[in-house]
Amino acid sequence: MDKLKIGIPRALNYYHYKDLWINFFKALDCDIIISPPTNKAIIKDGLKYANDEMCLSLKIYLGHVSYLKDRCDYILIPRIDNYGLSDQTCTNFLSLFDIVNNIFNVKILNYNIDYCHGENEISAFINMGKVLHKKRWDSIKAYQFASVKANKECKKKVLNSFHKLKSDQTKVLLIGHSYNLHDAYLGQSIIYLLESLGIEVIMSDGFDPKMTNKLASSLSPSLYFKYSKEAIGTIDIVRNNIDGIIFLTAFPCGPDSLVNELVFRKITLPYLNLVIDDIDSLTGIETRIESFVDIIEQKKQLIN
């Protein structure tokens, strides 16, 4: 029998859980196909399926699903509701399964997380294994294997971030959702711009999310968006080592519009709020980034 082919869209939660997912399916002896880095064709396709109210990141996600739809046996679509009462996620993640199920005629492998109703990480993996006709024990072993691998990757990432913090260059913390920061079309073109201006870019997801999640309470004790907490908690770790903060938001992100506003009022570092939508021209973004870099470098000179 041929191996099962699992498709994973390279968008949204892929960037949070890629090491867990990929290693889990590897351990279960499945083939994995990941959609290519976002390009214009994918965005165009996504826009075709999306409605106007969706955020750019979700539109892009649908483009990735569309790329995979005839190329695999199952497409992994998460439904992530919450990690407990004080760790909620954006409603997009809650509705993702239903959106894809309604738009596409594909076989979906659901990764369901809902701690408030007893659906935790391990049960999510066991349930996926069940759909693929894998034994419960095999799934548990595969999950454990994947966790170890994912932890290793996380440690590597953290070491790399701390290494960057020691750099003599001007350093900027780029705060945003992982799926925007690492997206080939959105975040990467902005990071490229910053690096070409001689800036060391530190990413808000470059640290241990468990740690940053807790640290976020220094900015807001009552915030309950899990991914936002993990992003802004980073400020506490790096605040004495960086020269400025750039907030990267995909229009119209609900959690960001609230959380960024909250953070602006509580930080003393210079910051820039970049809101991006489906844009082909980077000129406007260039102006904003160049001016911001000018400001933080002038400030740096003044201090030295």
Partner 1 sequence: MKNYYIGIDIGSISTKGVIIDDNSNILVSKYIWTEANPIKAVKDLLKDLKMGIPKDGQIKGIGTTGSARKLIGLMVDASIVKNEITAHAIGTLHYYPDVKTILEIGGQDSKIIIINNGIVSDYAMNTLCAAGTGAFLTSQAKRLGLSVEELGQMALSSKTPVKIAARCSVFAESDLIHKAQVGYNKEDIVAGLCRSVVINYLNNVGKGKRIEGPIVFQGGVSKNSGVVKYFKEILKQDIIVDENSHLMGAIGIALLAMQNKTSKTYDLNMIDIRFETKGFECQGCSNNCEILKIYRGQKLIDVWGNRCPKGLKEENMNI
**Which of 149, 157, 214, 288 lies at the binding interface for partner 1 (CB under 8 A)?**
288
Helix then strand count (H, E) for the chain reads 13, 8
C-beta of 42 vs 96, nearer to partner 1: 42
- Cβ distance to partner 1 smaller for residue 29 or 286: 286
Q: Does 295 help bind partner 1 (rule: CB under 8 A)? A: yes
Q: What is the chain's Cα-based Rg?
A: 20
d(CA 109, CA 39): 25
Contact call for residues 250 and 186 (beta carbons, < 8 A): yes
Binders of partner 1 among residues 167 to 196 (CB under 8 A) are 185, 189, 192
For the record, the structure tokens of 272 come out as 């820039």
DSSP 35-84: PPSP-HHHHHHHHHHS-TTS-HHHHHHHHHHHHHTTT-SEEEEEEEEESS
Among 160, 167, 218, 291, binds partner 1 (CB under 8 A): 291
Which window, 18-26, 57-65, 224-232, 286-294, contacts partner 1 (CB under 8 A)? 286-294
- Fill in the per-residue mask, 13 to 42: x = in contact with partner 1 (CB under 8 A), - = not in contact: --------------------------xxxx
Q: Is 262 one of the binding residues for partner 1 (CB under 8 A)? A: no
Return d(Cα 172, Cα 165) in angstroms, integer.
Answer: 10
Q: Which is nearer to partner 1, 54 or 124 (CB)?
A: 54
Q: Which of these, 80, 116, 122, 297, lies nearest to 198 by C-alpha position? A: 297
Residues that bind partner 1 (CB under 8 A): 39-42, 185, 189, 192, 251, 261, 264-265, 270, 273, 275, 277, 280-281, 283-284, 287-288, 290-292, 294-295, 298-299, 302
